[in-house]
């Protein structure tokens, strides 16, 4: 490996004791999978690959099982969430499943009135934009997460030795949705709140951090072998604001699952200038979007950190010649890091031909397999 990694065993005996006897790290050998070996900096038989948003609209089987069922209902129906999570593993032979959910699920389970509007995204009935609104937010009860625990348990039963990656939205992204009341291009309202009402912002971000941490914790305890904290909108921030108003809250969410010892991936879009600050929040693996070559990301991060990424999703529709040439460049750049998990530099576009993904997984596996 090109860099010296802070290599460690997957889990200590003390950490394993925190997990239930039925956890796949104990019973199904997920810790020795190519994915978990790579996430922890150990040599694997091939470069592992999974795709953000691999469980979703690009698959005809997904569209079929979702017919007439609202998005949030799909996430909160355990058998259905499990089926959707497993579909891309079954079809594409990716090296991990990513739990089918949405970043607003924790706030929904806490009692915040939010829905996902087709063609628009998450929308709150009432934006959370004052200190009184924030003080009145309900706390997420542990019992409300039982539906998530059931969905994860159903999923890992089907995945066997293939690991499941848990998922949660990062505090800034969750809080930004809450302040705006829905999607936004520039996230002006949360960025304004940070400076105009810093006490309100800190309370809201702390609430988002607690609920995201609880969400990740429930998934790990139910069977996830790794987790990813997804910061969709952090790229709208400068480094100074990220460090002052966001970093500690992402650190809180990540720290809430630190004791379990499972790999924690931190990914954001448009965050090339924030990578060192994001790493300082406590992640074990850094995801990199398609805008920054992995060898440059490794340089900015000082080496020694496992990287994930970062095939440009646009090239999935460019034809195999261009896609594979680009993939080769990504794999080569990834060799600068001590270990590399192949992924997209953002999510799978819904118009993607599923066969392209299946063939890409096979290409990555075959071209990196150790002889």
Q: Which of the residues are catalytic?
A: 53, 57, 66, 102, 177
Distances (CA, A) of 119 to 71, 72, 105: 12, 14, 18
Residues 6+ apart with CB under 8 A from 370: 43, 45, 46
Helical H segments across the chain, by residue range: 13-17, 24-27, 34-39, 60-65, 71-75, 78-92, 105-110, 131-135, 146-159, 171-180, 188-196, 198-222, 239-241, 247-255, 275-280, 294-300, 320-334, 354-368
Of the candidates 107, 143, 142, the residue with the CA atom closest to the CA atom of residue 125: 107
Taking the C-alpha atoms of residue 181 and residue 123, their distance in angstroms, rounded to an integer, is 6
Do you know the residue count of the chain?
371
Residues 6+ apart with CB under 8 A from 321: none
Of the candidates 11, 109, 96, 117, the residue with the CA atom closest to the CA atom of residue 54: 96
Contact 124, 208 (CB under 8 A): no
Q: Is 287 helix (H, G, I), strand (E, B) or coil?
A: strand
DSSP string, 138-167: PP--GGGGHHHHHHHHHHHHHHTTS-EEEE
Distances (CA, A) of 235 to 31, 242, 273: 32, 9, 8
Helix axes 171-180, 247-255, angle to 10 degrees: 120
List Cβ<8 Å contacts ≥24 apart for 285-288.
285/39, 285/341, 287/228, 287/343, 288/345
Other CB atoms within 10 A of residue 149 CB: 16
């Amino acid at each position: 490996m090109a860099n010296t990694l802070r290599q460690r065993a997957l889990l200590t005996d003390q950490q394993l004791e925190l997990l239930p006897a039925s956890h796949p790290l104990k019973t199904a050998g997920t810790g020795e999978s190519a994915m978990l070996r790579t996430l922890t900096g150990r040599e694997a038989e091939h470069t592992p690959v999974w795709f953000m948003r691999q469980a979703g609209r690009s698959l005809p089987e997904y569209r079929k099982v979702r017919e007439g069922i609202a998005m949030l209902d799909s996430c909160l129906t355990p058998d259905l969430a499990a089926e959707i999570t497993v579909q891309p593993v079954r079809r594409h032979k990716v090296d991990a499943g990513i739990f089918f959910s949405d970043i607003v699920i924790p706030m929904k389970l806490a009692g915040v009135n939010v829905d996902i509007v087709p063609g628009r995204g998450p929308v709150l009935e009432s934006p959370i934009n004052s200190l009184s609104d924030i003080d009145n937010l309900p706390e997420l009860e542990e019992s409300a997460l039982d539906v998530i625990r059931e969905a994860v348990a159903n999923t890992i039963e089907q995945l066997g030795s293939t690991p499941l990656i848990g998922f949660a939205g990062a505090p800034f992204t969750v809080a930004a949705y809450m302040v705006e009341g829905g999607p936004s291009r520039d996230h002006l309202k949360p960025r304004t709140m940070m400076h105009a009402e810093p006490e309100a912002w800190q309370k809201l971000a702390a609430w988002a951090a607690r609920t995201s941490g609880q969400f990740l914790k429930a998934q790990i305890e139910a069977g996830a072998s790794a987790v990813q904290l997804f910061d969709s909108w952090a790229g709208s921030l400068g480094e100074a604001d990220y460090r002052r108003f966001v970093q500690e809250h992402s650190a809180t969410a990540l720290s809430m699952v630190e004791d379990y010892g499972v790999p924690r991936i931190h990914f954001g879009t448009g965050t090339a200038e924030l990578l060192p600050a994001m790493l300082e929040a406590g992640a074990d693996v850094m995801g990199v979007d398609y805008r920054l070559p992995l060898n440059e990301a490794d340089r900015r991060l000082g080496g020694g950190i496992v990287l994930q990424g970062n095939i440009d999703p646009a090239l999935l529709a460019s034809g195999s010649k261009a896609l594979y040439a680009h993939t080769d460049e990504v794999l080569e750049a990834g060799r600068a890091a001590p270990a590399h998990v192949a992924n997209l530099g953002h999510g799978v576009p819904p118009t993607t031909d599923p066969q392209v993904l299946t063939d890409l997984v096979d290409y990555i596996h075959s071209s990196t397999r150790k002889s």
